[in-house]
Amino acid sequence: MTTLLLTHPACLNHLTPAGHPERPDRLRAIERALEQEKFQDLARVEAPLAELDTIALCHPMKYVIALRDATPKDNLVQLDADTSMSPGSFEAALRAAGGAVFAVDEVIAGKARNAFVAARPPGHHTETARPMGFCLFNNAAIAARYAQKRYGIDHVAIVDFDVHHGNGSQNIFWADRTVMYGSTHQMPLYPGTGAKSECGEHDTIVNAPLRPGNAGEHFREAIESVILPRLRDFAPELLVISAGFDAHMRDPLANLNLVEADFAWATRKLMEVAEKSAESRVVSVLEGGYDLAALANSVAAHVATLMQG
């Protein structure tokens, strides 16, 4: 078994306004980084389209249809101040969700040890019926719920190290005792959620906010002392990573000072938990990361660690 990489050229066709940080060049930078010789053993598959019924496991079908119908024939349409759609956006969003779902299939079937989904638009800000923060469908949440519905998995954990709090994932699973959502993130910062006191109805929401200017040692302490103990107690049978790399010191949208080695360390720590309770099953989906060099190098460190599994 090896690590599976899922992506699709259609994800380049989700266009955003000039100067927007969430742009197609993000995937191009990742693609170049993963062309290095050390990644030659990656299994590579094009992300399939998600079925609308699968997306409706997390988002009401009325929302899914409304988003499809909002897709413009040309130019861009703004959904909110940060989030837009172009003619190619709906297919890109279906590929991003479909890649996450197919990754679940392959990992649970034992055809891949773990998987990384390099797709866009990202997902973790999408609430049950609200697109926001560059996100249209919540890919990590869909993967978690699909694993439960399709394979009868009881406990799934989502761990999110994007610099922005995944308000959408928290919203979707707030009242769910079967899914743990754990997040490190800068606070205060968009979208304003993610306080330690936000625990969900069954104490399965675990937030470990970091302060502006914090660096790798603070991030590692938050993972070690807050996220990992709760994750071990929860004992997930599948671990989904919301892999955002915008906590990197070069990123323009935040003020944390992580480097590539911090993401590799966190990946290894999460894999160790998955080895004990989840048969090493890890599905990682791309979230943020807006400095192209930092994103490419951080993804390379993350994927190289997954391959060591």
Catalytic positions are: 125
Q: Which tokens is 277 given?
A: 């309770």
Quote the CA–CA distance of 44 and 176 in Å, as a whole number.
33
Question: Which residue, 161, 114, 158, is CA-closest to 307?
Answer: 114
CB 189 within 8 A of CB 254: yes
Written as one string, the DSSP assignment of 48-84 is PPPPHHHHTTTS-HHHHHHHHHH--SSS-EESSSS-E
Q: Which tokens is 49 given?
A: 């389209």
Residue type, 25: D
Q: Which tokens is 196 given?
A: 């330690």
Residues in the chain: 309
Q: Which tokens is 148 given?
A: 């439960």
Quote the CA–CA distance of 7 and 231 in Å, as a whole number.
28
Count how many Cα atoms sit within 13 Å of the Cα of residue 217 in the half-sphere of its side chain: 0
